[in-house]
Structure 1
Amino acid sequence: MLPSLARFCHRRRWTVLTVWLLILAGCAAVATVARPTFSESGPVPGSPTATAAQVLQRAGLSAYGGEQALLVVAAEAGVGDPRVRRTVQDLLAQVDRQVPDVAVAGPYDDDGGHRIAPDGTVAYAEISFAERSTDDLERDAAVIRAAAREAATVADPVLGLQVEVGGGEHLAEEGDFSTEAVGLLAAVVILLVAFGSVLAMLLPIGTALFGVGTGVSLVLALALWVTMPAFVIPATTMVAIGIGIDYALFIVTRYREGLRAGLDPTAATVAAMGTAGRAVFVAGLTVVTSLAGLLLFDLAVVRSLAIGLATGVLAVLAATATLLPALLGIVGRHVDRLRLPYTRTADDGPAQEVDLARAGDPVRGGRWSRYAGAVQRRPVLAVAGSLAVLALLSAPVLDLRLGFADAGNRSTEDTTRRAFDLIAQGFGPGANGPLLLVADSPGNAAGVLTGLADRLADDPHVAVVSPVLPAAGGDVALLTVQPATGPQDERTADLVHRLRDTVIPGGTTATVYVTGPTAAVVDFADYTRARLPVMVGAVLLLSFLLLTVLLRAPLVALKAVLVNLLSIGAAYGLIVAVFQWGWGLGLIGREGTGPVEAWVPMTMFVLIFGLSMDYEVFLLSRVREEYRRTGDNSLAVRHGLAATARVITAAAAIMIVVFGGFAFGDDPSLQVMGLGLAAGILIDATLVRLVLVPATMQLLGERNWWQPGWLARVLPARHR
């Protein structure tokens, strides 16, 4: 199918290019006109936080269950100074007028004394938002930040007034660092080095940009019907750029080999799509299959992420299958024009290594052939050494904790970070992650919480217990509990579990829920931790079946699944060492250690597993070709590695710089995922692909290609 499609697109090259231009323009226009809004998915379905939100909504207190901002004020003259008091009250009144559907609780209210620090230099007001989209929340946050800046600017300098806005990631100030642009620029440089030709470089870049532009536009359009968080767009862009360039790189490399072997442009295009193109599409389907594993999570945020990423990957695959053959038809034999000075001629490169290997002794077939021979001569040492290194890199994963970054991890240039520090300085670390107890007891909710408040006041892990806030009617009441530790501290999560499992059941028979942003993080982490093994098992099984069908070799497919699992474990270990232990954390501009973002491990797993399969499929498909040609396993492994090592190295380098660029961005979640993906690809393309895979295939020998009789009868004969 792919060769026939390639031949058609090659011959109708200008028509195909025109159609793609129209598709891209149309998708962009729809996405621009539609102007979708993004929204977080809310608490985990069925969790105590979700049930508490329903109770609050029923009692008319829904603002207390949503996102919360803090207006934090510090004054050298003291927050009790009448001038400071008047400035803060005017500011809160302005916020109440300009921002719809908020509940504002200030430090100077009758019951607001607990919002003033004991030393009198810091105070805060709570601004609780009713449920709203991410776009609306960010717009309202901008209004609050502007009002806070104005209040601090016009105040008397003698007061030493500082006003900051604290809260979640949507209240943070956006940076102007473009991680996508940096990654794309680095990919251009790598392609120029790999190809030595400007025109050859433009083919993967152009194909990827068409696919990414179409994919992202489709995701924006899908956001009209599917609730999506805002980070889906940069995540889709990150993955689609890396995959799009890599896939086109594999095919363009095979096309150039065909030209050097004497094929005409049409035949070279068809041959490239029938070999590298087939491997690329199996790899792409493996990525999509892996992403489907995220659908096992009953979380809208995770499912929408899977839909967005899969849409981006499928758009890139479509561009690779149709647009790239058309572009190859346009450039024809001129693919190596506009060569850079001091680069090798078109007759050099990976193809020469393969041709020499086929012509005679593979050890003389180039440096990659000689390298493969060295690994094959000592396969036991290579396997043992690589497994030891992978085990060492994976060891930190035993300390993996799930949670979410908070303002304490942001730069001190961000107002939310400064607010976070002021709150911790004035009220203690737990004030940045208070817990909200919601009592649901007809006619006696306030009494229930009053009794609990007396018990919690003596708890050493509780710093402050605020006054009980009853709702109209008396059936629902609220109690704010400030832990003695910060929101990312493991002891705070332990406190949430202890309140739910021991303290509340032992103190009252009424229904009391522990909720709030910190408790919601605990619920999310517990849910993902419980579901992660199920998703991993499903993805492993589906990938094994897909590779078995492609390679007709169950042992090779099983080995591929297991070694990819090792590279993922090593990537997990690295993010624990960096983000939890703080090793090298300052190098990426992040401050403060903490748990790993709760949604990142599952997303990292499916992406690293799927992307690692790209290189596995590309390498093993070539090894399989060589084995069918020669019937010699050792020779096939050596020739396959020699033919693919350079292009896989270039492809991995592109992935690493594209993903690694996000580690230097402003989004804490994408920092973790970007660094984790870059590390996973680096480990897979070096230690796994260049050492472990050829060594294990050497040890297995002819058993690599064992095929049970029933499988041979089931699979189509043309692929045997």
Structure 2
Amino acid sequence: MSTIESGVMHRVMTRCGRFTTRHPYPVIVVWLLLTVTIAALVVAFGRPIDEDATLPGSAGQHGREVLEAHLGGAADANGQVILRSSGARLDEPATAAAIAETAARIDAVEHVSAVARPVLSADGLTGYLDVSLDVGPQELTRATTVEIMDAAGTPGLETLPGGALTRAQGGTGHSEAFGVVVALAVLVVAFGGLVAAALPLLTAALVLIIGVGAIGLAGHLTGIPSVATTLGTMIGLGVGIDYALFLITRYRALLDRGRPVRDAIVGTVASSGSAVVFAGGTVVVALCGLGVAGVPILATLGWTAGLVVLVAVAAATTLLPAMLTLLGPRIDALPVRRRSRAGRASAWGRLADRVIRRPWRYALASTLLLLVLAAPLTAMTLGQTDAGDKAAGSAERAGYEAMAAAFGPGINGPITVVAELSPAATGRDDPRLTALTGAAAAVPGVTQANPARLAEDGLVASVRVIPGTAPGDPATLDTIDRLAALDVDGAAISVTGQTAIRGELAERVGDRMPLVIVLVVLLSGLLVLIAFRAPVVAAKAAVMNLLSVAAAYGALTAVFQWGWGAELIGLDGPVPIEAYVPMMLFALLFGLSMDYEVFLLTAVRESWERTGDNRRAVRDGLSDTGVVITSAALIMVCVFASFVLSDEPVIKMMGLGLAVAIAVDATVIRGLLVPATMTLLGDANWWTPRTTRRAPESPDQARWAVPSESDGAEPARSGGSPA
């Protein structure tokens, strides 16, 4: 038997189910106290974010650290207030006086350490004020940026944020609300009642408050980018609802069999709870594989998303059973439609019959379809987005475009050339400073090189360079490479800045991607092997998941890189695929796809253990789980797809990639390819080096598969309630 049906996990989850049914009130109180505590801490201390890219071991990171140590150039956050006139030049006396008053007001705002003199464009109609802050990116709050922009209001001039002042700290409430509404509709249709439909949403709400709140609080201890909380929200909604859906479905099925309430809950936690633990474990294990990439943002996104999944698993296996204990048979209260009892004569049963009769046809057709969907990934290239890729009309994009139009596209992505100098007695008259500035200015692709700054100790100099191309333009990376190759006597050159570091990040991700793929596949496959003790099933599951990930990559390439349908998701056209997105999606998708694989295979395995007939087992497994897996997948697809409404291109990429992969996984792969290949493999599916096939140990041995309600009488059961 599989580990889910017996063994240590089954025994542990049985004890967990017994505990929650015996002590439902303490369990619920603990969860509520934890929720209130974390919510209060978030309200009191906030959720700081840090969008700063770091890449240990890279040349760009080395240059940044040298600047911090000798010049302090990277220690403070810096932003710009952009001023734009539609008529009078900004250097006219009246306008200049108004700008001076504006600078004084900005300088009086808390955390503003200095406001530089305005820099004007050639036509005098656009300018900007450099605003230096005494807090780093992690401590820069939305309240501070709003206060600065309020103080920047100047009669007759348009003011826009730039640099650090554009860091978005708002939420994605519209996306979350849309996902919840769709999820509720699907749950009502699936369960036929409002009480049963509300429980998964309630569980998911607590998961979000605890999990995403904890991620936000972690921002006080380490750098947490805004995408981490958004991704945590996406994952928390998806798995929080899905895991509860699986358990409630099993619980209602056991009640229909005539099992007492507490007996049904214990059986549900022991069987479905074990499957949820293994499914959640595959997601966490896959995310752990990101740690070998050597990219801090990936490691951060991995552990934050994994934290939310762990909270979802804990809530599904403790909080939900406690609530079910209090509700009892009232789980079916407030019905809105009559529950269907189609059973094995359902559409999924008929589909299973067709696939089993012609497995070769369905295997080849579905494989061909997946390869067509995945084909665009062969042209995928990694890059970096910039503010010019944001939604049209956003303040961040408006500021970016105003600066680019007035000062050239490179103004939005300045580069810093750092020179570590050998000791010399010439100080600020060191001829190497002039040589460094001249060499940087002469590099093709550079439009401006400011005079070199020299550290007090005379050991480090820096030159701020403005390239002629935008931060996200691949040509900018070529300029960075040429700057890094500068040869100045007595100086060791490195190039830093967000654009330089993110360029190196893309290169490292490309180099480490094969290692991460191999590691995630092996770890996830090993977990499935432990769960089912069947090497063939584990290997097949890994291959199937690779196909769903490939389809998601194909969609990313077609929509974002090629621009197919980009306007439909709020983009003006093609945008670069952010370097870390494919690797993050791989780990997430591989783990989430394994969720449905675990649930389907558990149902197939249970039937095979009972009947010894592989074809019937495949048919029973698909028929019994088709509705619940489809409902779960539909919820997750809608939740993920709702985040395409976000203004952030990276969030759009995450949402679209996850939605496409889950949709393909739950239909083409789980509905066609998996049953077709399992039919073709026959009993080889369950081969093990030590074949020890045996019948279930007792009639009360819990199984995940949702029993068909048209099967007639339940086989006779003996023994008392496990509760």
Partner of 2:473: 489
Q: 1:473 to 1:24 in 2, by over 3 A?
A: closer
Which residue matches 1:510? 491
Question: Equivalent residue of 1:513, what SS?
Answer: strand
Task: Tell me which amino acid in the other structure corresponds to 1:437.
Answer: V
What's the CA shift for 1:563? 1.0
SS in 1 for 2:645: coil
Alpha-carbon separation, structure 1, partners of 2:91 and 2:30: 68
Q: More displaced, 331-340 or 550-559?
A: 331-340
* Counterpart Cα distance in 2 of 1:327 and 1:540: 36
The range that moved more, 617-626 or 208-217, is: 208-217
From the superposition, tell whether residues 71 and 180 of structure 1 become closer, same or farther in structure 2 (CA, over 3 Å).
Answer: same
Selected match of 1:106 from 105, 117, 120? 117
Q: Distance in 2 between matches of 1:537 and 1:546?
A: 14
Q: CA RMSD in A?
A: 2.9
Report the equivalent of 1:146.
Answer: 150
Q: Equivalences for 1:144-183 in 2 at 5 Å?
A: 144-148=148-152, 150-151=153-154, 154-155=155-156, 161-167=157-163, 170-172=166-168, 174=170, 177-183=173-179
Q: CA deviation at 1:509?
A: 5.2
- The letter for the 1-side match of 2:650 is S
1:251, 1:277 within 8 Å by CA — same for their partners in 2? yes
The answer to whether structure 1 residue 242 and structure 2 residue 238 are counterparts is yes
- Do the aligned residues in 2 keep the contact of 1:626 with 1:639 (CA within 8 Å)? yes
Q: Residues 473, 18 of structure 1: CA spacing in aligned structure 2 closer, same or farther, 3 A cutoff?
A: closer
Aligned 8 A contact 1:211 1:317 in 2: no
The 5 Å alignment of 1:298-697 reads 298-340=294-336, 343=337, 345-346=338-339, 348-349=340-341, 352-354=342-344, 365-441=345-421, 442-443=423-424, 447-448=431-432, 450-472=434-456, 474-500=458-484, 502=485, 504-505=486-487, 508=489, 510-697=491-678
Matched residue SS, 1:69: strand
Q: Aligned residues: percent identity?
A: 38
**Aligned AA for 2:251?**
Y
Equivalent residues in 2 for 1:2-81, closer than 5 Å: 2-35=13-46, 37-40=48-51, 42-63=53-74, 67-69=78-80, 71-81=82-92
SS at match of 1:594: coil
Over 3 Å counting, the alpha-carbon distance change for 1:411 and 1:608 in structure 2 is: same
The aligned amino acid for 2:627 is: R
DSSP 3-state at the match of 2:331: helix
The alpha-carbon deviation at position 170 of structure 1 amounts to 4.7
Amino acid across the alignment from 2:476? T
Contact kept in structure 2, 1:661 and 1:674, CA below 8 Å:
yes
Instruction: State the AA in 2 paired with 1:3.
Output: T
Bigger Cα displacement from structure 2, 613-622 vs 525-534: 525-534
The answer as to 2:123 corresponding to 1:119 is yes
Deviation of 1:230 after TM superposition, in Å, equals 3.6
**More off after superposition, 514-523 vs 490-499:** 490-499
Higher helix share: 1
Is 1:263 aligned to residue 259 of structure 2? yes
**Cα distance in 2 between the residues matched to 1:703 and 1:98:** 71
Q: CA deviation at 1:223?
A: 4.1
Q: CA deviation at 1:606?
A: 1.5
Matched, 1:192 2:176: no
| C-alpha contact 1:172 1:415 (8 A) present in aligned 2 | no
1:180 Cα deviation (Å)?
Answer: 1.7
C-alpha separation between the residues in 2 aligned to 1:230 and 1:389? 36
Structure 1 residues 163 and 213 mapped into 2: Cα distance closer, same or farther (>3 Å)?
closer
Helix, strand or coil at the partner of 2:259: coil
After superposition, the C-alpha distances for 1:142-173 in whole angstroms (9 at most, x for unaligned) are 2331122x21xx24xxxxx3322222585348
8 Å Cα contact 1:462/1:482 also seen in 2: yes
Q: Structure 1's 619 and 312: CA in aligned 2 closer, same or farther, altered over 3 A?
A: same
User: In the TM superposition, what is the alpha-carbon distance from 1:575 to its structure 2 partner?
Assistant: 1.7
Give the structure 1 partner of residue 284 of structure 2: 288
Correspondence for 1:92: 103
Taking the aligned partners of 2:131 and 2:539, their CA distance within structure 1 comes to 54
Measure the CA separation in 2 of the matches of 1:526 and 1:407.
21
1-structure distance, mates of 2:309, 2:175: 19
Q: Which amino acid aligns with 1:626?
A: S
Q: Report the CA distance between 1:493 and its aligned residue.
A: 1.8
Contact 1:408–1:591 under 8 Å retained in 2:
no
Structure 1 residues 588-638: Cα deviation after superposition (integer angstroms, max 9, x where no partner):
223453222233222211111111111000001100001111111111111
Alpha-carbon deviations, 1:247-289, whole Å to 9, x = none? 1111111122222223222232233223322211110111111
Matched residue type, 2:346: G
Deviates more, 1:184-193 or 1:464-473: 464-473
SS at match of 2:197: helix
Q: How far apart, CA to CA, are the structure 1 residues paired with 2:86 and 2:460?
A: 37
Amino acid in structure 1 at the alignment position of 2:248: V
Q: Distance in 2 between matches of 1:412 and 1:33?
A: 34
Secondary structure of the equivalent of 1:62? coil
2:452 alignment partner AA:
V
Separation (CA, whole Å) in 2 of partners of 1:520 and 1:65: 18
CA offsets per residue over residues 215-266 of structure 1, 9 Å max, x none? 2343344444444334333322221121011011111111222222232222
| 1:57-91 Cα shifts (integer Å, max 9, x gaps) | 23334258855435343442223323333333333
Whichever residue aligns with residue 463 of structure 1, its letter is T
Question: Contact 2:207–2:312 (CA<8 Å) still a contact in 1?
Answer: yes
Contact 1:439–1:512 under 8 Å retained in 2: yes
64-73 or 377-386, which deviates more: 64-73
Query: Alignment length, in residue pairs?
Result: 684
Aligned residues of 2:160 and 2:398 also touching (Cα < 8 A): yes
Inter-CA distance 98–561: structure 2 relative to 1 (3 Å threshold): same
User: How much does 1:394 deviate?
Assistant: 2.0
3-state SS of 1:512 partner? strand
For residues 190 and 78 of structure 1, what CA distance do their matches in structure 2 show? Answer: 58
Q: Partners in 1 of 2:213 and 2:172 — Cα distance?
A: 22
Q: Partner of 1:201: helix, strand, or coil?
A: helix
Q: Relative to structure 1, is the Cα distance of residues 545 and 139 closer, same or farther in structure 2, using a 3 angstrom cutoff?
A: same
| Whole-angstrom CA distance in 1 between matches of 2:383 and 2:128 | 25
> AA paired with 1:651?
A
CA contact (8 A) 1:40 1:229 kept: yes
CA gap 1:133/1:481 in 2 versus in 1, 3 angstroms: closer
The change in CA–CA distance for 1:480 and 1:33 in structure 2 (over 3 A counts) is closer
State how far apart, in whole Å, the 2-side matches of 1:219 and 1:429 are: 35
Tell me if the contact between 2:279 and 2:598 (Cα under 8 Å) persists in the aligned partners. Answer: yes
1:410 touches 1:591 (CA, 8 Å); kept in 2?
Answer: no
- Read off the aligned partner of 1:436 and give its amino acid letter: T
Q: Is the 8 Å Cα contact of residues 63 and 494 (structure 2) preserved in structure 1?
A: yes
Q: Compute the TM-score of the two structures, normalised by the length of structure 1.
A: 0.88
